[in-house]
Structure 1
Amino acid sequence: MASKKATIHDIAKELNITASTVSRALNNNPRISEATKKAVLGMAKDLNYQPNNLAAALRKGKSQLIGIIVPTINRSFFSSVIRGVEEVANKLNYRVIVSQSNEDVDNEIATLNALLNARVDGVLVSIGKNTDRFEHYKDLMERGIPLVLFDRTTNEVGTSQVVIDDYLGGYLATEHLIKQGCKKIVHFTNLKQVNIYKERYRGYLEALRDNDIPFDESLVYQSDMQLVDGRNCTEQLLASHKKFDAIFSASDYAAVGALQILKENGVKVPEDVALVGFSNEPFTSFTDPSLTTVSQFPIEMGQAAAESFFEILEAKKKKFIPQKTVLQPELIIRDSSLKSGK
């Protein structure tokens, strides 16, 4: 049988003091003597006392917890964002609870409810690719709970956002390929609800227009942007016998899938086809050839998202105007795109 959980009343009984004195001692109240605090902490350790954080949160109105929802946890990008959030939050004595939606809107809603039941003080979210309903976030804001969207955001919810300039990233990637002499540039994308792919696509289109290269809709391939999708799209591309000399993928994972199929079919990268990805995942510097990509600075994004959260928290009693923080991307040029050797 499990042993009964110790309470402040058990500590009080052992020390022959009141429960309120124990509570004050545990909370380092200056009205309690150092000797009493030491005795209480010692007895709490002996009895293996664990504080009821939920009850404390209800009393104080704050839990010192931030909920984070990401589409998937096994990506370097999102783990780096979380690291950035923690760097800011921990300095202010906040901790984070991380959950993943697995790109499923129903799971996203259930995860949000679980975090609210844990009494988090607010939520940072990168929405899933398949999220097409936003009532759960609108309801959150109506209840006055701070919400910050990062990376994958939507304008359906009027709250603070932290993003990279995905349009500029798409423009820089496409412009770089054009400068390498490429004129038939394929684009791998996902034009559903998620703004990031729409913006990267817009950058791709603008770079073509600015350089007087006709847009060919048949060179745009849509998928879920995973490695297998990059493989499948490239197989379809080769089977179509369309002429192309470059691929700009809005995801590093799909870019690596493309690289695999090109090599398996004897297509030389970058001599025959130049290749650029997006995100600067750690593996991109180890592919053969190494992958040109766009850095999103995820740690800085996490830091900015946490700072936005605390700004909302501080302004809770006043009217808060949502802010959009836009970080600047950087094109990381590697071997996969250097057709001209530049």
Structure 2
Amino acid sequence: MKKVTLKQIAELADTSIGTVDRALNNRGRISEETKQKILNIAEQLGYQPNKLASSLSRNRSLRLGVLYPAYPAYFFDEMSAGVDEAIRSLSDYSMDIKKIRCNSLSPEDQIPILEKLSSEHYDGLVINAGSSQLLPYIDRLAEKGIAVATFNSDIKGTRRLFHVGMDPYLAGRVAGDLMGKLMGGSGKVITMVGFCSVEAHMERLRGFLEAVRSSYPQIQIVDNAEYEDNDKLAKRVADRLLAEHPDVKGLYTVNLPGALGAALSLKQHPLASPPILMGYDVTKQLGDLLKEGICTCILYQNPFAQAYYSLMLMSDYLLQGTLPKKKHLLIQPRIVLKENVDAYYYDPSTTTRNQFFL
């Protein structure tokens, strides 16, 4: 639908744009009859007020917060670059965008920050939400009139407006089907998750397990472990599991720290028959391990684009009152192999590689 302008309303009301602005923003200096006429025309045309103009009239910027972890930096720095690009894109508007960093996606790290935010003034918040334990805190923010959206990891059932990110269940099924094919349909598999409390991690695991069990019944899941989004802990976990199951044919991790830790374990303690290793997202270090054949396959979820588009869509809502047509905007997982990994490295010196592709 074409946007209704103040000029259109002014022409139909046979008055000036300034008079229309005063009527719509209730600033007086016009007759009640003229004001009512303008309001009726605006309603008939479906006029949506420009919140940017309203913020300027209040002599303050719209305040938008973005909450996401700081560690591991090699993943979240790319997400942070997406935030920075959105800030640059919105620099001509009256928007004050504040980065709010937590240590990890664990509820112990995120809940205290959300409790504090509920007492501060924000017009909108974009949250990389981890645990379902955050649900009442997100709903409490929405009840206070704060517009909330999520990105990267979602929480079902909240009053958030929309979510930008990869479908974790679908990504897990893609990984499970690939694993089954590469293993020839039989053998033992180890799975590893970052946080059992993070919904996105468990959905990737659920999708993987369901794909394997439904299509490859001869594959046996022999163990599962948690590594708290820490690559050093992931390496120690992988060391233990691989020692206990030296005949394992597949190893699946739900994110970048897990893939990196497991790959370093396999490099330090190579097995006679190396297992197929799958994980998510790319760093130069993991890319080198992919090229060496230690890591087999990576699913890329584009953290840059997730952060960038979630902020741009939230700014559209705050400035224009428009929401995306879908409540879940999907970024499709991309399969990265040693042959194409160079195209996926994040380069902090530029934002022009392929960070905007969906």
Fold shared, TM-score > 0.5 on shorter chain: yes
1:261 aligns with 2:259: no
Match of 2:228 among 201, 224, 231: 224
Look up the SS of the partner of 2:155 in the other structure.
coil
Aligned counterparts of 1:294 and 1:224: Cα–Cα separation in 2: 20
Instruction: Show the counterpart of 2:251.
Output: 247
- Look up the equivalent residue of 2:136 and give its one-letter code: E
- Look up the equivalent residue of 2:133 and give its one-letter code: D
Aligned counterparts of 1:77 and 1:241: Cα–Cα separation in 2: 29
The answer to whether the 8 A contact 1:304-1:325 is kept is no
What's the % identity of the aligned pairs?
20
Alignment of 1:75-94 (within 5 A): 75-92=73-90, 93=93, 94=95
Match of 1:236 among 240, 260, 266: 240
- Look up the equivalent residue of 2:240 and give its one-letter code: Q
Alignment of 1:1-342 (within 5 A): 60=58, 62-92=60-90, 93=93, 94-103=95-104, 105=107, 107-112=109-114, 119-128=121-130, 132-159=133-160, 160-182=162-184, 183=186, 184-190=188-194, 192-214=196-218, 216-241=220-245, 243-267=247-271, 271-287=273-289, 288-289=292-293, 291=295, 292-314=297-319, 323-334=327-338
- Look up the equivalent residue of 1:87 and give its one-letter code: E
Aligned counterparts of 1:101 and 1:210: Cα–Cα separation in 2: 38
Aligned counterparts of 1:168 and 1:217: Cα–Cα separation in 2: 19
Aligned counterparts of 1:120 and 1:90: Cα–Cα separation in 2: 20
Asked which structure has the greater CA Rg, the reply is: 1
Q: 1:177 to 1:162 in 2, by over 3 A?
A: same
Aligned length: 276
Higher mean displacement: 209-218 or 254-263: 209-218
Look up the SS of the partner of 1:187 in the other structure.
strand
The answer to whether the 8 A contact 2:151-2:306 is kept is yes
The answer to whether the 8 A contact 2:231-2:260 is kept is yes
Q: 1:196 to 1:106 in 2, by over 3 A?
A: closer
Give CA deviations for 1:130-182 in whole Å, capped at 9, x if unaligned. x7243322111001111111112211412121121222222222322322235
Look up the SS of the partner of 2:61 in the other structure.
coil
How far does residue 70 in structure 1 lie from its aligned partner after superposition? Answer: 0.9
Q: 1:135 to 1:203 in 2, by over 3 A?
A: closer
Q: CA RMSD in A?
A: 3.3
How far does residue 190 in structure 1 lie from its aligned partner after superposition? Answer: 4.4
How far does residue 115 in structure 1 lie from its aligned partner after superposition? Answer: 5.3
- Look up the equivalent residue of 1:231 and give its one-letter code: K
Q: 1:225 to 1:64 in 2, by over 3 A?
A: same
How far does residue 218 in structure 1 lie from its aligned partner after superposition? Answer: 3.1
Aligned counterparts of 1:140 and 1:254: Cα–Cα separation in 2: 32
Higher mean displacement: 198-207 or 95-104: 95-104
Aligned counterparts of 1:63 and 1:118: Cα–Cα separation in 2: 15
Aligned counterparts of 1:304 and 1:205: Cα–Cα separation in 2: 30
How far does residue 110 in structure 1 lie from its aligned partner after superposition? Answer: 4.2
TM-score of the two chains, using structure 2 as the length reference: 0.66
- Look up the equivalent residue of 1:65 and give its one-letter code: R
How far does residue 68 in structure 1 lie from its aligned partner after superposition? Answer: 1.3
Aligned counterparts of 2:68 and 2:205: Cα–Cα separation in 1: 23
Look up the SS of the partner of 1:218 in the other structure.
strand
Aligned counterparts of 1:102 and 1:155: Cα–Cα separation in 2: 23
Q: 1:195 to 1:107 in 2, by over 3 A?
A: closer
The answer to whether the 8 A contact 1:163-1:325 is kept is yes
Give structure 1 stretches of 5+ with no counterpart: 1-56, 336-342
The answer to whether the 8 A contact 1:86-1:96 is kept is no
Look up the SS of the partner of 2:191 in the other structure.
strand
The answer to whether the 8 A contact 1:67-1:115 is kept is no
Look up the SS of the partner of 1:267 in the other structure.
coil
- Look up the equivalent residue of 2:176 and give its one-letter code: T
Look up the SS of the partner of 1:134 in the other structure.
helix
